Structure 1
Amino acid sequence: MKQITAILIALFLGINSFGQKGSNKELKKDIDALFESYAHYNRFVGSVLISENNTIIYQQSFGYADIAGKKKNTKNSIFSIASLTKSLTAVGIMRLVEDGKLTLETPISIYFPDFMPNNSKDITIQHLLNNSSGIEANIGRTDESGNGLMPEDSPITLNELLEKFKDSKLKFEPGTGYEYNNFGYLLLADIIEKVSGQPYADYMEKAVFKPANMKNTAVATFKPNHQKAQPYLGLGMNEFQNFNSPFHPSWLQGAADINSTTLDLFKFMQALENGTLLKVASKNMLYNATQAMGVNNMLSGLGWVIDEKEGEKWIYNNGLLPGYASVMGSLPENNIKIIVLSNATSVNPVLEEFQGEVTFVPEITDKIISLFQGKRVENLPLPIKNKSITDFTNTYQLDDKHVLVLKKKEGTYSLETAGKEPWSVFTYTFSRDSNENDAYSKTALFFANAMSTQNFEGLSDYGNEQMKGFLGTQQGQDQLKGMWANFINHAGEFKAYNIYKIEGKEVKNIHIRFHFETVDVGMVLSVNAVHKIQGMFMDDAIKTSHVTTVALVPVAENKFFIDGHRNGGMQDLKITLSNKGLILTDGPINFPAGIINP
């Protein structure tokens, strides 16, 4: 998610009661159905392991580890675990803390006296671990001002990186904010080497992997290589493509360079829990030495994220690299562990913009948790055989500007859009104006006009006390100007804006859609009861598509599924037919359309 730094993010977490599934047999059946549905649409390739009370209750693999060699993924397949590496690095640091060789309060100036000399004495080991250092230097991420470097396929040393970042500054005072930072973990890996006197890989083998009996885990290499799950792009599409340009692991040492299996990560979580790796006090520090992330009640721990799922604590970490995605987490109150490793992403998330999901691992994980909490989840609908023989063309009217044409020809179904202007079914819900028009809307419209004209005079009057310090200052307005320039650079000429959704009661989240030449950008304002802006964030729900014809998958009688990924990377949609017309379903919203020529 792209973050707007120094801005309060205001959301609310709904908490519901839940009940545990009554039968492991039923639970396994539901989990299997979940994975089978995602695998059918090429939305999951990889391995999964789930345990309850330290007993593995589900362990399955899907898709290919090596398509060319026709080798399927197995429970022994080895994946790059990407940023799950950070959880292991944090344990490596805590082993040194337990040995009395450093403390969480140790300043990094001791190890890097020439790096940010005016600030490094105020940045501690803990700040690096929980992403609260404020360092603008980063790897794999660039901010709105262009700070940060993308990893390359040639090796690099930390000294070379420190030279490249010699002019780095602080974005905020250490310990006062949160921003995800890979470079901080490269510094931690180097600190491990300096303090232990061993290469990072050797130290992690002796201090973490071997004690936890992780026999197929290694830094920067696949051990053994023949069990490697090759990385692929094209997740959710019809075909996968090899990813042939991996980053050199030296760019990500300590942050995202470990390779492992689901079973080894399960052993790691067990060893952490049972005291093999750390004493109880040290283990608890991983989850208690936290920094607020600014989203709901989420906290950044030492290599872990502490969150809640429907009132139940969820401690996890996830990872993403081109061709690899991962999650490792636990519901400690019920002693449930979930590990999902995948060897495919839709695109290269570092270099390519994409409107759809880069990976479905987080979405699948949320559904697994819901199943454990006794809830029903919606799987992707599997296709049925087409019983209809006769070809036909029917036309449906959504409104005075939007018409749908449904066709069946030679056994396949398609849906085309028509009307006064070209449009896409994927963006219909975002293009419609919200019906609400009140003081909340007035605040949002003033902000939208200020952004689109870059005239911020009077905008601070629409902010609460905290936001006035951002909206009414040159620094804050410069940040908004930088964001807008970035939008123009990536999306082309600005066209228009509209409010498409307003949620909430006293505090409302107002969704604004800025229409540009090639891409639309969404922002959400959190507006309080006295109609003042109290926070803002990017609206990741916003999609942009110029697709006017989509394929329909029959999934039941008179019901069709529109696979968003295979039709341009958008959200999934549904079509339901009746004698009177059809219903276009986008998430929770139904749009009825009357038939014109039955």
Structure 2
Amino acid sequence: MPRYTLSFLLLIIISAVSAQSYDQVMRARFHPGAPGAVALVAKNGKIIFQKAYGVANMELGVNIKPDSRFRIGSLTKQFTACAILKLAEEGKLSLDDRLTKYFKDFPAAYDSITILHLLTHTSGISLSRGYWNAELRKKDFTPRELVDVFRNDTLDFKPGTRFIYNNNNYVLLGYLIEQISGQSYARYMDSVFFKPLGMHHTSIETAAAIIPNKVAGYRYGIYDKFENAPYLSMTQPYAAGSIVSTAGDLFTWITALMQYKVISAASLEKAVSSHRLADGSLTNYGFGWATGSIRGNKSIRHDGLINGFSAFMTWLPKQAVCVIVLTNCEYYNPEDAGTRLAAIALGKPYPEIPLKMQPESLQSYQAVYESGSYGKRIVQLLDSTLYIYSKGGSKEQLFPYAKDKFFLRNSLETFSFIHDPSGKIIALQAEGPEKTIEYSRSPEVVPAVKTIRLSAAELDRYLGWYQFSPDFSLQIFREGNQLYGKGEGPRQIKQLILPLGNNRFAAKFLDAELWFKEDEKGKITGVTKVQNGESMAVKR
């Protein structure tokens, strides 16, 4: 067989395997008959995977299509930021301009805020805490009315000294675009970006507009059943989150950005570089884009969350990889799926199949690991399984995938244990999409936990309700030969609790214990909850 024919067949096989891997990631997260998603993966300017999953409208039973339109939420911010940069390139503004140059009737505090502060979420303007409620979210606002919601509030911090993600920054940028361009935000976006770039399925959503192929939005209701997302006037997200688009149009947008058809190379470099605060620390955020890494490679990324929808987009400039995931449920996590798709495109997929390790081999990892900025992570052996957690928090099982390397289910965080020259473990390195953190091993001792077996009759001694406050009671109940605790209310999560002996139980997936009290006759009369260094005793 000629060499070029063999190479061609090998390429076909590799492409088929990759497509299957992408599909497996998506199918594991988005299921038939439920709200779903569209995923797009591109490399070197070409789409190598695009597929739709789930239902566009649960009432009509219509499936999502690859060209379905979704609200993209805060992915809108990159469009707003590029509009500002384009106006700067045209000499119509400077990023160092103070806001009072354009808004003469604003309070004096705004004289210390620049356009750059708005772009980077370092302005200190109010978050409008406590203003919004469900009824108010249905009301239409003009851009000026949106600005007036927070304009007279006291600044939350001195501009340039802190990073606080705040939609109001981009609402004000949208209003600025209108003042400088003389056009509405929607008209500016359509005439300057959408139409010239051929983004024919992208627009600013309004209540009156009929948008072909737009999917319905959902969320989880009580008992985790899907329900329609609550109504939101799309005048409110405005320049911070009002765009409706398709995965294909967003890829067109990214392609145009990388070819410098939207803004110049210099402007784009500013937009996708982490901003520095006054003290020199990095924020991991540029202009409408966050910075991070995927499997050790620099990534530019952003997510979007809005009533009924969640979205994620990332691109890796050096590897020319772009991934877009759009969903029609606000409780989904498209970042997890999208980051895994990008890792596959890089040829460095996240580990998902654990290795087998004997419990005695896991004991050496058990310790408290500390970071001055990020607190403590505790690694502990529970019977024959290794867990990691923060004090008082949820426990996650560590799965080994290589020597000294572990991963978590349903997480993008991976862990590596670091040895000194003598072979002693001295640190734990946690690598995530946003940052890599190193924790030093402390001398604090973490004992291994061993559970015991109790019969169903022995477990039944603990069943019942325990009231911790007038508003909160804990139910202890048995399913099969396992005991569970669950707080009162539909959104409470049941916790598996494991017997340790002497009327003590430990939550398997939470750093908490229950110590039951018995009277002289052996009857259980109360319980003490021990969590995060605090204890609370109540009666049965």
The interval holding the TM-score normalised by the smaller chain is 0.5 to 0.7
Match of 2:196 among 184, 200, 211: 211
Rounded to whole Å, the distance in 1 between the matches of 2:86 and 2:190 is: 13
Match of 2:297 in 1: 312
Higher mean Cα deviation, 157-166 or 101-110? Answer: 157-166
Rounded to whole Å, the distance in 1 between the matches of 2:277 and 2:83 is: 23
Match of 1:175 among 149, 160, 164: 160
Q: Whose radius of gyration is greater, 1 or 2?
A: 2
Q: Which runs of 5+ in 2 are unaligned?
A: 1-11, 355-364, 381-387, 395-436, 444-471, 481-489, 499-506, 511-540
What SS does the aligned partner of 1:512 have?
coil
Letter in 2 for 1:131: H
Bigger relative contact order, structure 1 or 2 (CA pairs below 8 A, ≥6 apart): 1
Taking a change above 3 Å as real, the CA distance of residues 69 and 202 of structure 1, as seen in their structure-2 partners, is same
Match of 1:364 in 2: 337
Q: Which runs of 5+ in 1 are unaligned?
A: 1-20, 346-357, 382-433, 445-463, 468-498, 516-524, 532-543, 553-566, 576-583, 588-598
Q: Is the 8 A contact 1:307 1:313 kept in 2?
A: yes
Rounded to whole Å, the distance in 2 between the matches of 1:569 and 1:306 is: 35
What SS does the aligned partner of 1:193 have?
helix
Identity of aligned residues (%): 27
**Post-superposition shift, 1:342?**
0.4
How many residues matched?
391
Q: Is the 8 A contact 2:35 2:55 kept in 1?
A: no
Over residues 308-362 of structure 1, what are the superposed CA-to-partner deviations in whole Å (9 max), with x where a residue is unaligned? 12320010111011210001110112101001100113xxxxxxxxxxxx32211
What SS does the aligned partner of 2:189 have?
helix
Taking a change above 3 Å as real, the CA distance of residues 548 and 379 of structure 1, as seen in their structure-2 partners, is farther
Rounded to whole Å, the distance in 1 between the matches of 2:478 and 2:81 is: 47
Paired residues for 1:327-366 under 5 Å? 327-345=312-330, 358-366=331-339
**Post-superposition shift, 1:134?**
1.5
What SS does the aligned partner of 2:313 have?
strand
Rounded to whole Å, the distance in 1 between the matches of 2:478 and 2:334 is: 25
Taking a change above 3 Å as real, the CA distance of residues 107 and 344 of structure 1, as seen in their structure-2 partners, is same
Rounded to whole Å, the distance in 2 between the matches of 1:33 and 1:260 is: 25
Letter in 2 for 1:91: C
Taking a change above 3 Å as real, the CA distance of residues 311 and 63 of structure 1, as seen in their structure-2 partners, is same
Taking a change above 3 Å as real, the CA distance of residues 322 and 342 of structure 1, as seen in their structure-2 partners, is same
Q: Is the 8 A contact 1:211 1:276 kept in 2?
A: no
Taking a change above 3 Å as real, the CA distance of residues 307 and 572 of structure 1, as seen in their structure-2 partners, is farther
- 2:344 is the alignment partner of 1:502: no
Match of 2:228 among 242, 245, 250: 242
Rounded to whole Å, the distance in 2 between the matches of 1:51 and 1:217 is: 19
**Post-superposition shift, 1:209?**
0.8
Match of 2:92 in 1: 101
Normalized against structure 1, the TM-score is what? 0.57
- 2:101 is the alignment partner of 1:128: no
Taking a change above 3 Å as real, the CA distance of residues 526 and 246 of structure 1, as seen in their structure-2 partners, is farther
Q: Is the 8 A contact 2:217 2:308 kept in 1?
A: yes
Q: Is the 8 A contact 2:219 2:329 kept in 1?
A: yes
- 2:36 is the alignment partner of 1:51: no
Q: Is the 8 A contact 1:44 1:360 kept in 2?
A: no
**Post-superposition shift, 1:106?**
1.2
Normalized against structure 2, the TM-score is what? 0.63
Q: Is the 8 A contact 2:98 2:115 kept in 1?
A: yes
Match of 2:392 in 1: 513
Match of 1:403 in 2: none
Over residues 383-415 of structure 1, what are the superposed CA-to-partner deviations in whole Å (9 max), with x where a residue is unaligned? xxxxxxxxxxxxxxxxxxxxxxxxxxxxxxxxx
**Post-superposition shift, 1:86?**
0.2
Q: Is the 8 A contact 1:79 1:229 kept in 2?
A: yes
Match of 1:189 in 2: 174
Paired residues for 1:414-493 under 5 Å? none
Taking a change above 3 Å as real, the CA distance of residues 56 and 530 of structure 1, as seen in their structure-2 partners, is closer
- 2:247 is the alignment partner of 1:262: yes
What SS does the aligned partner of 1:173 have?
coil
Over residues 170-220 of structure 1, what are the superposed CA-to-partner deviations in whole Å (9 max), with x where a residue is unaligned? 232222220001011111111111000011100010111112210011112
Match of 2:103 in 1: 112
Match of 1:227 in 2: 213
Match of 1:66 among 51, 57, 60: 57
What SS does the aligned partner of 1:57 have?
strand
Rounded to whole Å, the distance in 2 between the matches of 1:236 and 1:366 is: 29
Q: Is the 8 A contact 2:45 2:255 kept in 1?
A: yes
Q: Is the 8 A contact 1:178 1:291 kept in 2?
A: no
Rounded to whole Å, the distance in 1 between the matches of 2:495 and 2:87 is: 48
Q: Is the 8 A contact 1:188 1:254 kept in 2?
A: yes
Letter in 2 for 1:172: F
Over residues 31-58 of structure 1, what are the superposed CA-to-partner deviations in whole Å (9 max), with x where a residue is unaligned? 1011112123888612111101111011
